[in-house]
Amino acid sequence: MRKIIFIFSTGILFFSSCKVFNNEKNTTSNFKPEKNNMVNLKKENAYVIASYNVENLFDTVNDSDTNDDEFTPEGYKHWTKERYEKKIEHLSWVLSHLSNELPAIVGLCEVEHKSVVLNLANSKLLKKGNYKVVHEEGPDTRGIDVALMYRSDLFHLIDYKEIPVIVPEDPNSKLRNILHVIGNFADSDTFHIFVNHWKSRRGGREETEFKRVAAAKILKAETDKIFAGNKTANIIIVGDFNDDPKSKSLDKVLDATDNTKNPDFNEFYNLLYDKSLEGEGTNSRDYQWFMLDNLIVSQVLRNGKEFYAEDGQVFKNDKILYYNAKANFKTPNKTYGGKNYYGGYSDHLPVYFMLKRIL
């Protein structure tokens, strides 16, 4: 079942579609399921929440609806079954080594279809996680979307919706949707999880900033609606924002800072803000790190009584890094550089944090 919602606000047109996944009960209208509705969920003391831009996880089949020709065996990148399977193996290794436990939640960027995420979820190293997948096809011309994997033994899916990003100054832009997932852990209140992949900096950081600011405004409007109903809502925001924590879109528009002193209820805390100031990052260019992937939570998850979100971490295992001896610099070991196949993991590093239950 799909609902189409039209909301006119501050000159921006929002189209939000809601769809129940895996025949879960549709409770979108209130977002307030009772705690005793949880079915056979394992109650853990801590949950790993991760986000990973997996760099063009395409299948090998040509899709006539998108510009994915380069990622086919006949395309100029010669994307074969063997390369695809190696990519799945690499990504599953990364996700299985973030912590001692498999992640409870994984937000993914740059996936072509639900099928490739299912292949990843059912890979040898991740299969025991009993992952289910939330994904919808989006408007991106290349066909890359965001998705969410969740461990069905730890997280109960209630509903989800896709939030299109419409830019008033350029309404014909086909930007990637924001994915809003609603669910619960065992004996927990509702969690709202947003997976993002905002406009890239291709064409110039300043020249493209207005599109990321537009995405931030849309996301902020969505979270403000949640806070209007519950000032202590559990909100987690992950993804590749193509902006660092001090950028206008994140720091000023979304109000995602490192402020812990008397913050307003609708301000957010960026779990990677301080690491960015220390020079860490998830993507590199010209031998400099940029924290483009961020982990953001509502203030209640930093000072609440039910859960505590620890500081974010960047996974920088040497196995997923390439060492440039000439520059004495380690950079993400990516799959491709242009048309050149390197056989690496991704051009981004994954990020994660521990969501600890307060006993």
Q: What is the mean pLDDT of residues 238-246?
A: 98
pLDDT at 13 > cutoff 50: no
Q: How far from chain centre, in Å, is Cα 31?
A: 21
Question: What pLDDT does 39 receive?
Answer: 57
Q: Is the pLDDT of residue 156 over 60?
A: yes
List 159's β-bridge partners, or say none.
182
Q: In this predicted structure, what is the pLDDT of residue 266?
A: 87
Q: How confident is the model at residue 40 (pLDDT cuts 50, 70, 90)?
A: confident
Interval 277-289: pLDDT, tens = 999 999 999 999 9
Domains of the chain: 2-25+44-357 (3.60.10.10)
- Terminal C-alpha separation, the chain: 38
Residue ranges of E strands in 10-73 = 12-19, 46-57
Among 53, 57, 61, which residue's Cα sits nearest to residue 89?
57
pLDDT of 259 reads: 82
pLDDT digits over 302-355, tens only?
A: 987 899 999 999 999 999 999 999 999 999 999 999 999 999 999 999 999 999
CB 85: neighbour CB atoms within 10 A?
13
Q: State the average pLDDT over residues 33-47.
A: 70
The candidate with the shortest Cα–Cα distance to 50, out of 140, 112, 120, is 120
Mean pLDDT across the chain:
90
Kindly report the pTM of this predicted structure: 0.89
pLDDT of residue 267: 92
Separation between Cα atoms, residue 96 and residue 128, nearest integer Å: 10
